[in-house]
Amino acid sequence: MKILVLNGSPKKNSDTMRLTNAFLEGLKQDNDNSVEIINVIEKEIKPCLGCFACWKIQNGKCVQNDDQNAILSKIIESDIIVWSFPLYCYSMPSHIKAVIDRIIPLSKMSMKEENGIVRHDTVIDLSAKRYVVISGCGFPNWSGNFDGLRIQCNNMFGNNLTMICVPETPMLNVPEAAPLTTPLLEKFVSAGEEYAENLCLAGDTITSLETPMLPNEVYIQIVNQNS
């Protein structure tokens, strides 16, 4: 399978990409899987113009001449698209949001209702594609941190989505936290192996990946002591 990773962090080796790379390590143990990583921050992705020219032409391309059309082509060619990005203001960084906004050339103006969600018809059949969203944040495991992002991604990708939201990810850059972070990274490797086999993750697996490494109050105290 062809796997496309869209790294939405401003950094190549962000906290979230450390988790994603561990997940990919598990995925790549299936030798039939090939992985391509795009660091979106390095690409020129202009904002959507809202011109809807793509809906008139319906060739799966945007009329703007930047790097988005190459990304659209890779999305079309890929079997699995992994979106990896940190949580910014309870959503996603602006440069990866621009990529999401500019996926519109893959759709048509016509609409249909699916399981209570209204979606656009697509220019090509995207129903077999699988989507993985891995998002980390610097907050503790506080209710509501990822709620808006979960709604957006579920509405975007529907039943073909596997989503993993991880709190306390700055700990991955703290050497003293290795006794806590190393087991988490190992879990992500195992999760990648599970996904390679089943193209989904069990609910218990996702819960384990999203479980905070430290209690909320302990994590907040540590952050505040070092701020």
Position of tokens 């050497």?
A: 175
Instruction: Give residue 86's pLDDT.
Output: 97
Instruction: Give residue 187's pLDDT.
Output: 98
Residues near 74 by Cβ (< 8 Å), separated by ≥ 6? 4, 36, 38
Q: Which two tokens stand for residue 151?
A: 């709604």
Output the pTM of the full model. 0.95
Rounded to the nearest 5 degrees, what angle is found at the Cα of 41, between the Cα atoms of 177 and 213? 20
Q: Which two tokens stand for residue 210?
A: 């999203």
CATH number at residue 168: 3.40.50.360
Position of tokens 């390590």?
A: 25
Instruction: Give residue 109's pLDDT.
Output: 94
Residues near 207 by Cβ (< 8 Å), separated by ≥ 6? none
Q: Which two tokens stand for residue 22?
A: 């561990």
From the list 132, 134, 131, the residue with the least C-alpha distance to 209 is: 134
Instruction: Give residue 203's pLDDT.
Output: 97
Instruction: Give residue 193's pLDDT.
Output: 96
Instruction: Give residue 13's pLDDT.
Output: 83
Residues of the domain holding 64: 2-225
Instruction: Give residue 12's pLDDT.
Output: 83
- Please list the pLDDT of the chain residue by residue as tens digits (227 residues): 999 999 999 988 899 999 999 999 999 987 788 999 999 999 999 999 999 999 999 999 999 999 999 999 999 999 999 999 999 999 999 999 999 999 999 999 999 998 888 989 999 999 999 999 999 999 998 889 999 999 999 999 988 999 999 999 999 999 999 999 999 999 999 999 999 999 999 999 999 999 999 999 999 999 999 88
Q: In the chain, how many domains are there?
A: 1
